[in-house]
Homo-oligomer: A and B are copies of this chain.
Amino acid sequence: MVDVAKRAGVSLKTVSRVVNGSPQVQPELADRVHAAIAELGFRRNHLASALRSGQLTATVGLLIEEIANPFYATIAGVVAETAREHDTLLFTASSEEDPVREELLLRDLCARRVDGLIVVPAGYDHGFLRSEVERGLPVVFLDRPGGGLVADTVLLDNRGGTRAGVERLLAGGHRRIAVLLDSVGVYTMRERLAGAQEALAAAGIPYDPTLVREGVKDPATAAAVVAELSDVDAYVCLNNRITVGALQELVRRGGDAELLGFDDFELSYLMPRPFTVIAYDPKELARRAADLLFARIAGDETWPRTEVLPTHLIERGLR
């Protein structure tokens, strides 16, 4: 900027005014400055600008589990689009479900002075963000509640969705119902399991521990578990990776066991067998979180909110 000022024969401050579109500059000078900027290829340093003016950095951070996962990719897409509507750039980072990594990344984002954070929590304690939040950093938790911190939260109706799905299975006369889940360490899995449990208990089905399978981490494991549990009326899969594995095994084996899966997925309507998904709108989930965040950034200082998004049942697959 100093070089531009010298070249245009004006002061530093006048260049600053021109760069910031201040109207208080004579057109003739402004032209000289613009010419000098073009000749020297000057680009204003947004970092220095934000530092001096103490204003917002026009940057937000999104911390998710894994960008490559289509669910999180959809979320990232919506958040990126909302950010762009607010002329804001987006940092994207993946925790890979590692709380240590989560904390490191969040601290790093804070060090970059982001204007706000959207976080899909991996860990249980986000108290390390408290001092930032107290200084006015808006944080929105997405998909799962954060720990040790009062902040806006946007969740799915995991419990109600699974309950409704299992109730439909029960209404269809099914009694021997297996539940496959990843890990009860994950909030969404606990809630979904609780929903299934509520429906089964309400129907008077006795608890059979052999029908609840935890630790189903991937489609291959899901297929193996389904193969092993062959005398079952219906399989409830608490996420879509599990659903896909179960589906593959049921297609291989044949038969008419029912399949209920949490999360819809791409091309589910083309799967070679009917099944039911507990679906929701991931875009709406992300949109709410992003809107909440930018409302906070714009100065909304009402009490922290928790929003819960409904789910609904959809029949999928070719019949």
Binding site for B on A (CB under 8 A): 41, 43-48, 50-51, 57, 59, 66-70, 72-74, 76-78, 80-81, 84, 89-94, 105, 107-113, 131-132, 134-135, 244, 247-248, 251, 265-267, 270-272, 318
Q: Can you tell how many copies of this chain the complex includes?
A: 2
- Given the complex of chains A and B, what is the CA–CA distance between A271 and B271 in angstroms? 6
A59 shortest CB reach to chain B, Å: 7
Residue pair A67, B80 in contact (C-beta under 8 Å): yes
Contact of A113 among B45, B66, B74, B80 (CB under 8 A): B45
- Given the complex of chains A and B, what is the CA–CA distance between A73 and B69 in angstroms? 7
- A47 CB contacts on chain B under 8 angstroms: 47, 50-51, 57, 112-113
Residue pair B266, A70 in contact (C-beta under 8 Å): yes
- A110 CB contacts on chain B under 8 angstroms: 43
Add 15 more A-B contacts to A47-B112, A89-B91 (CB < 8 A): A43-B111, A46-B113, A47-B113, A51-B51, A67-B76, A67-B92, A68-B78, A70-B70, A76-B76, A80-B92, A81-B94, A89-B109, A91-B92, A251-B318, A272-B272
Those 5 A-B pairs whose CB atoms lie nearest each other, nearest first: A68-B77, A41-B131, A73-B73, A46-B111, A92-B92
- A91 CB contacts on chain B under 8 angstroms: 89-92
- Given the complex of chains A and B, what is the CA–CA distance between A41 and B137 in angstroms? 14
A73 shortest CB reach to chain B, Å: 3
Given A91-B91, A92-B90, A272-B270, A43-B73 contact (CB < 8 Å): no
- Given the complex of chains A and B, what is the CA–CA distance between A109 and B41 in angstroms? 16
Residue pair B80, A318 in contact (C-beta under 8 Å): no
- Given the complex of chains A and B, what is the CA–CA distance between A81 and B244 in angstroms? 26
Residue pair B89, A112 in contact (C-beta under 8 Å): yes
- Given the complex of chains A and B, what is the CA–CA distance between A85 and B41 in angstroms? 33
Residue pair B93, A80 in contact (C-beta under 8 Å): yes
**A75 and chain B: residue at smallest CB distance:** B68
A78 shortest CB reach to chain B, Å: 8
- A318 CB contacts on chain B under 8 angstroms: 251, 272
Residue pair B111, A45 in contact (C-beta under 8 Å): yes
- Given the complex of chains A and B, what is the CA–CA distance between A251 and B110 in angstroms? 52
- Given the complex of chains A and B, what is the CA–CA distance between A314 and B264 in angstroms? 26
**A59 and chain B: residue at smallest CB distance:** B112
- A78 CB contacts on chain B under 8 angstroms: 68
- A93 CB contacts on chain B under 8 angstroms: 80, 84, 89-90
- Given the complex of chains A and B, what is the CA–CA distance between A46 and B107 in angstroms? 11
Residue pair A46, B112 in contact (C-beta under 8 Å): yes
